[in-house]
């Protein structure tokens, strides 16, 4: 059994979190198209609540989903059941660094900056090596990571109202976020707080959640992939498939292959 995850406490607000992220529509279609076009076994690391995997399953694709958080896997099962595609998902509670598949994958994807949950560079290196070991010859690995710029860092450090919504009990809620960004260590501590309000708008309770994240410079991502044995096919600067360029990129999206 994998160790507890920070996302176990984050699961109940995760759909609000992703629904209000600027990159969500673009990364959803990018990954779903990649999954559907692959005829061999497809694996999603950090499957979360199944936002991407279930959308791919609706289009007929079977997916193996791996996640460290039991609570997130429970959310994924609920989403898949509601969509009528639970039988097309195989869910594994495991760590990126040591997951084991029943058969080698044709495609392993790590969407939504999720490699960043491994904060230490050595842990990212272990994950890359494990992905390589679980791919069949010729299999592909796709992942995206933050492209940290001064503008993005400044934005992340601000206090932002992320969403306004209703809780299951009918109460109004506000979701706030800010981040502590350490440029020297490439680490991010995301701090969210959810305010539950009464009918008069007064604060009933506030709940904090924290996530530990990190990022790679593009040169580091390239080196990790190469050191693990991958052949790099492409690096995109956005989910439309624009070739990566320092001056214009918004993301770093890597497509790599295990040699045949």
pLDDT mean over 74-89: 98
Chain segment 180-216, per-residue pLDDT in tens? 999 999 999 999 999 999 999 999 999 999 999 999 9
> Does residue 63 contact residue 53 with C-beta atoms inside 8 Å?
yes
Domain residue extents for the chain: 6-147+215-257, 150-213
DSSP 62-82: -EEEEES-HHHHHHHHHHHHH
CA-to-CA distance for 14 and 11, rounded, in angstroms? 5
Q: What is the pLDDT of residue 120?
A: 95
In this predicted structure, the answer to whether residue 108 has a pLDDT above a threshold of 60 is yes
The DSSP letter of residue 241 is: -
Q: What angle do CA 215, 12, 24 make, to 5 degrees?
A: 50
What average pLDDT score do residues 220-233 get? Answer: 98
Task: Answer yes or no: are the C-beta atoms of 130 and 115 closer than 8 Å.
Answer: no
Looking at domain 6-147+215-257, does it have CATH number 3.40.50.150?
Answer: yes
Residue 3 has pLDDT above 90, yes or no: no
pLDDT of 227: 98
Q: Tell me, what's the pLDDT at 193?
A: 98
What pLDDT was estimated at residue 2?
42
How far from 130 is each of 71, 101, 255, CA to CA, in Å?
24, 11, 16
Q: Average pLDDT of the chain?
A: 96
Q: Which helix H or strand E contains 54, and what residues bound it?
A: helix 51-58
How many Å is the maximal CA-CA distance in the chain? 64
């Amino acid at each position: 059994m994998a160790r507890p995850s920070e996302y176990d406490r984050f699961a109940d607000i995760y759909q609000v979190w992703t629904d209000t992220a600027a990159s969500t529509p673009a990364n959803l279609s990018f990954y779903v198209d990649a999954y559907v076009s692959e005829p061999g076994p497809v694996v999603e690391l950090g499957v979360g609540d199944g936002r991407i995997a279930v959308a791919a399953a609706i289009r007929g694709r079977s997916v193996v989903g791996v996640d460290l958080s039991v609570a997130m896997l429970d959310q994924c099962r609920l989403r898949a059941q509601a969509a009528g595609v639970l039988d097309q998902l195989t869910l594994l509670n495991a760590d990126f660094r040591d997951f084991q598949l029943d058969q080698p994958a044709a495609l392993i994807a790590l969407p939504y900056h999720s490699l960043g949950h491994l904060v230490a560079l050595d842990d990212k290196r272990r994950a890359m090596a494990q992905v390589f070991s679980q791919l069949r010859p010729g299999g592909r690995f796709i992942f995206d990571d933050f492209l940290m710029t001064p503008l993005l860092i400044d934005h992340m450090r601000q206090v932002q109202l992320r969403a306004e919504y209703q809780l299951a009990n009918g109460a109004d809620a506000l979701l706030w976020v800010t981040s502590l960004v350490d440029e020297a260590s490439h680490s991010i501590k995301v701090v969210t707080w959810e305010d539950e309000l009464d009918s008069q708008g007064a604060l009933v309770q506030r709940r904090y959640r924290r996530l530990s994240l990190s990022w790679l410079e593009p040169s580091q991502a390239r080196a990790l992939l190469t050191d693990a044995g991958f052949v790099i096919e492409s690096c995109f600067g956005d989910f439309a498939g624009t070739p990566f360029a320092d001056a214009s990129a918004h993301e770093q999206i890597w497509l790599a292959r295990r040699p045949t």
